[in-house]
Amino acid sequence: MNIKFKDINYIRPDIKETEKKFNELAEKFISARSASDQFEILKEINTFRAEYETMINIAHIRYTVNTEDEFYSAEHEYFDNTGPLYMRLVKKLYQLLTESEFRTGLEELCGKQLFASAEVSLKTFSEDIIDDLKKENQLVTRYVKLIASAKINFEGEERNIAGLDPFLESENRELRKRAFEAKFDFFREHESELDYIYDELVKTRTLIAKKLGYENFVQLGYDRMRRTGYTYREIEGFRNTVKEVIVPLTETLSEIKKHRLGLDHLYYYDAGYNFKNGNPVPKGPPEWIVEKAKIMYEKLSPETEEFFDFMIDYELMDLYNRKGKSAGGYCTYLKKYKSPFIFANMNGTDHDIKVLTHEAGHAFQKYQSRGFEIPEYIAPTSEAAEIHSMAMEFITWPWMNLFFEEDTDKFLFSHLNKSLFFIPYGVSVDEFQHFVYSNPDATPADRKNKWREIEIKYKPYLDYGDNEFLNRGGYWFMQSHIFKMPFYYIDYCLAEICALQFWRKSNHDRDIAWKDYLNLCKSGGSKPFLELVKSANLGSPFEKETVESIVNYAEEWIESVNKEYDIA
pLDDT tens digit string along 531-551? Answer: 999 999 999 999 999 999 999
Residue 327 confidence class, pLDDT cut points 50, 70, 90: confident
What local confidence, expressed as pLDDT, does residue 424 receive? 98
Over residues 467-479, the mean pLDDT reads: 97
User: For the chain, percent helix, then strand, then coil, each to nearest 5?
Assistant: 70, 5, 25
Enumerate residues 6+ apart whose C-beta is below 8 A from 287: none
Percent of the chain topping pLDDT 70: 99
Q: What is the DSSP letter of 244?
A: I
Q: How far apart are CA 274 and CA 227, in angstroms?
A: 37
| pLDDT tens digits for range 95-128 | 999 999 999 999 999 999 999 999 999 999 999 9
How many angstroms separate the Cα of 210 from the Cα of each of 217, 318, 392, 398, 429?
Answer: 8, 40, 40, 51, 24
Q: Is 438 a residue whose pLDDT tops 80? A: yes
Instruction: Tell me which CATH code domain 123-568 carries.
Output: 1.10.1370.30
Q: Is 203 a residue whose pLDDT tops 70? A: yes
What local confidence, expressed as pLDDT, does residue 562 receive? 74
What local confidence, expressed as pLDDT, does residue 567 receive? 54
Q: How far apart are CA 224 and CA 217, in angstroms?
A: 10
How many angstroms separate the Cα of 455 from the Cα of each of 225, 428, 447?
Answer: 25, 6, 12
Residue 393 confidence class, pLDDT cut points 50, 70, 90: very high
What local confidence, expressed as pLDDT, does residue 264 receive? 95
Over residues 319-324, the mean pLDDT reads: 90
Q: CB atoms < 10 A from the CB of 545, how many?
A: 10
Q: What is the mean pLDDT of the chain?
A: 96
What local confidence, expressed as pLDDT, does residue 292 receive? 98
How many angstroms separate the Cα of 113 from the Cα of each of 135, 310, 367, 372?
Answer: 31, 30, 20, 13
What local confidence, expressed as pLDDT, does residue 566 receive? 52
Domain boundaries, the chain: 5-115, 123-568
Over residues 392-416, the mean pLDDT reads: 97
Pick the closest to residue 403 from 302, 493, 287 (CA basis): 287
Q: Is 54 a residue whose pLDDT tops 90? A: yes
What local confidence, expressed as pLDDT, does residue 128 receive? 96
Residue 563 confidence class, pLDDT cut points 50, 70, 90: low
Collapse the DSSP code of 104 into the 3-class scheme (helix H, G, I; strand E, B; otherwise coil) and give the result: helix
What local confidence, expressed as pLDDT, does residue 285 receive? 93
pTM: 0.94
List b or e across 305-334, with b for residues whose CB sees 16 or more CB atoms inside 10 angstroms.
Answer: bebbebbeebebbbbebeeebbbbbebbbb
Collapse the DSSP code of 159 into the 3-class scheme (helix H, G, I; strand E, B; otherwise coil) and give the result: strand
Residue 178 corresponds to which amino acid? R
Residue 155 corresponds to which amino acid? E
Percent of the chain topping pLDDT 90: 94
